[in-house]
Structure 1
Amino acid sequence: MLKAWPRLAVRTRIMAKQPPTKRRKTSTTTDNKGTDKVITSKYFSTPTASKPSSSSSSSSSAYTSSFEPLTWKCFPSLEEVEVHTLILGTHPSITSLKENRYFGHKMNAFWWIAGDCLGFRRADGISPSTQKPYTLAQYLRHGEEKVIPYEEQVKVFAANGFALWDIVQSCQRKGSLDSAIRNETPNDIPGFCQKNPSLKRIVIANGSTGSNFFLKHFKEWCFSGDLKPAENTQSQKVFASIPKEKLENARITFVSCVSVSPAAAGFTYLQKRNFWEEHVYNPGLNEKLKNEKKISQENKPTEQHE
C-alpha cells in the first residue's frame, strides 16, 4: 500500500460542511548542507475558498484533497534522478482517492500508456464483471508476464525522470468530473518547477479541461515568459493570447495532451498512446538519456599526459 511511503501519503479530506484550510504560498527545498530553505512562488496565489452554499453542501458533495507529488524522492532505493517532465492531473477521482492511487480508474488510459512506453503492463486487461478482455488489451505491447504491482509501476515511472501531481490541491465536487469542481485551491506548481530546475516539460493529462484550470490559476505565470506551448494545436490554443516574443526564451514546454480520461471516448486507445508517446514519453526518455551521458562525462576520469 502507498501508505508506507510518507511522501505519497494521500491528503484526503472529505468534509461536506467545512472548506479546506488556507495554504501558504511557500514551499521548501534543501540546500547542499541539508538545510531547508523557503522558496516563495512569485506566480502562485492562494485564493480564499468560499464557504459552501446550502445547495452545494449536500451529502453528495464534499471537499477532497489531492496527493503529494510523486517523484523519485518517494523511493529511498532510487538514486537521484533529474526530473524532466511533470505530468498534471486535474484532481483525483473518487476511485483514485478510494484506492490511494494516481489515475486509479481501470479504464483510465494513463497507466496502460505508461506501461507500453516504459516496458511494463498495468494489469491483465480482463474485465472483472464480464471476464472478457478490455478493447484496449489487444493493442498493449507487453504480455501478461510484464504485469507488475502499482507500487512498482510508479517506481519505474519516477526512475525515468517523470513526476506526477495535480493542478487542484483541494476542492468541492459532486462526483468525479472536472467540470463539477468548485471552490478549488491550486497546488504550487511554479514552486515545484523552481525546486526542480532540470524540468523541461509540463504535461496536462486531461486536455482542454485541465488546461483551463491551469490557465485560470497560473495566468500570470503563463505570461511571464517561463513557459511556451508545444507545437500541437491544443497547446497552441492555450497560449493564443500571449505575444510570441514572450515565449522565445522559455525553458519549460507546456503540453496540453489528448485526455487519458475514460470520458474522452472520442479518441481510441491507439490515438491516445500515439500522442503521448510522441509528445511526452519519447521526449522525456531522450532527455533522461542526455542527462545520463552528461553525468557520465562529468564523472569520467581525466587522462593525465606526461
Structure 2
Amino acid sequence: MIKHTIAPIYDKNSRILILGSFPSVKSREQQFFYGHKQNRFWKVLAGILGYEVPQTIEEKKEMLLANHIAVWDVIQSCEIEGSSDASIHEVIPNDLSEILATADIRAIYTNGGKAFELYDKYIYPVNGIKAQKLPSTSPANAGYSLERLKEAWMEIVKTLIM
C-alpha cells in the first residue's frame, strides 16, 4: 500500500478544487503535485491564467493561491504499479471535509477520467458535491494537444469569474 504524503494546497480564499487521482512516482519523489516534466498541468494552468510557467514549488503554490485554486488528489492510499492510473486498486479516499470547511469551494474539477471515476465512487456519496471532469494533463493523454487542453481547462477561468 502506497500512502499519499503531499499536503493539499489551499487557503480560506480557495474557490476551485482540482483533484488528481494519485501522485506519480516523480511527484512522490519531489513531494509536490504534477512533478513529471511531461505532465502539462503547470503549462495549462499558467496558460489559462496568463502566467509564466512556474518552475519552483513556491512559484506553483503562489500561482494557485493567488488564483483561488486548491489542489489535492482523490486517493489517500492505494496499490499502484509505477504511475499507472489503470493499475490503481485497494483505494482509500482522501477526506475533503477540512478543505470544504475552510474554503468557499464553488466547483470541484478532476484532472482526467480516473480521478473523476474514483471521486464519483468514493467521495461524491460522502459530500454530495458533483465534480466536473476535465481532460487529463498526463502525457498518457496524447490525444489532447496543449492548446486543446487549455481550451477545455478554460472552464476553470469561467468559474473563477462568477
Q: TM-score, normalised by structure 2?
A: 0.89
1:183 corresponds to 2:104:
no
Q: 3-state DSSP class of the match of 2:76?
A: strand
May I ask how many residue pairs the two structures share in their alignment? 162
> Percent same amino acid at aligned positions?
27
CA contact (8 A) 1:66 1:168 kept: no
Question: Could you tell me whether the CA contact under 8 Å between 1:173 and 1:180 is conserved in 2?
Answer: yes
Q: Distance in 1 between matches of 2:82 and 2:26?
A: 10
Indicate conservation of the 8 Å contact 2:79/2:88, yes or no. Answer: yes
Cα–Cα, structure 1 residues 227 and 107, in superposed 2: closer, same or farther, change >3 Å? Answer: same
Match 1:96 to one of 14, 24, 27: 27
Structure 2 residue aligned with 1:113? 44
Which of 91, 100, 109 is matched with 1:203 structurally? 109
Q: Distance in 1 between matches of 2:121 and 2:129?
A: 15
Distance 2:5 2:69 in 1: 18
Q: Show CA shifts across 1:237-286 (max 9, x none).
A: xxxxxxxxxxxxxxxxx211011111111111111111101x112322x1
**Shift of residue 112 of structure 1?**
0.2
- Structure showing the higher helix proportion among its residues: 2
Shift of residue 148 of structure 1?
A: 4.9
Partner of 1:262: 139
1:218-239: per-residue Cα shift (whole Å, max 9, x none)? 25247xxx434xxxxxxxxxxx
SS in 2 for 1:102: coil
Q: Which amino acid aligns with 2:26?
A: T
Report the counterpart of residue 157 of structure 2 in structure 1.
Answer: 281
RMSD between aligned residues: 1.9
Q: Deviation of residue 164 (structure 1)?
A: 0.5
**CA deviations over 1:68-127 (Å, ceiling 9, x no partner):** 11014xxxxxxxx521100001000001111122011111111001111233222xxxxx
Residues 39-82 of structure 1 deviation map (CA, whole Å, 9 limit, x = unaligned): xxxxxxxxxxxxxxxxxxxxxxxx2324111014xxxxxxxx52
Aligned counterpart in structure 1 of residue 118 of structure 2, from 180, 193, 213: 213
Larger Cα-atom Rg: 1
- Residue ranges of structure 2 left out of the alignment (5+ in a row): none
Distance between the aligned counterparts of 2:90 and 2:43, measured in 1? 32
Conservation of the 8 A alpha-carbon contact between 1:171 and 1:183: yes
CA distance in 1, matches of 2:66, 2:111: 20
Q: 1:69 touches 1:164 (CA, 8 Å); kept in 2?
A: yes
Find the aligned partners of 2:146 and 2:111 in 1 and give their Cα distance. Answer: 14
C-alpha distance in 2 between matches for 1:153 and 1:267: 23
1:282-301 paired onto structure 2 within 5 Å: 282-284=158-160, 286-287=161-162
CA distance in structure 2 between the aligned counterparts of 1:66 and 1:205, rounded to whole angstroms: 19
State the AA in 1 paired with 2:158: N
Residue 158 of structure 1, CA deviation: 1.0
User: 1:106 and 1:270, CA in 2 relative to 1: closer, same or farther beyond 3 A?
Assistant: same
User: How far is the alpha carbon of 1:203 from its aligned partner?
Assistant: 0.6
Structure number with greater CO (CA < 8 Å, separation at least 6) is 2
Amino acid at match of 2:16: T
Change (3 A) 1:152 1:191: closer
Match of 1:65 in 2: 4
Q: TM-score, normalised by structure 1?
A: 0.49
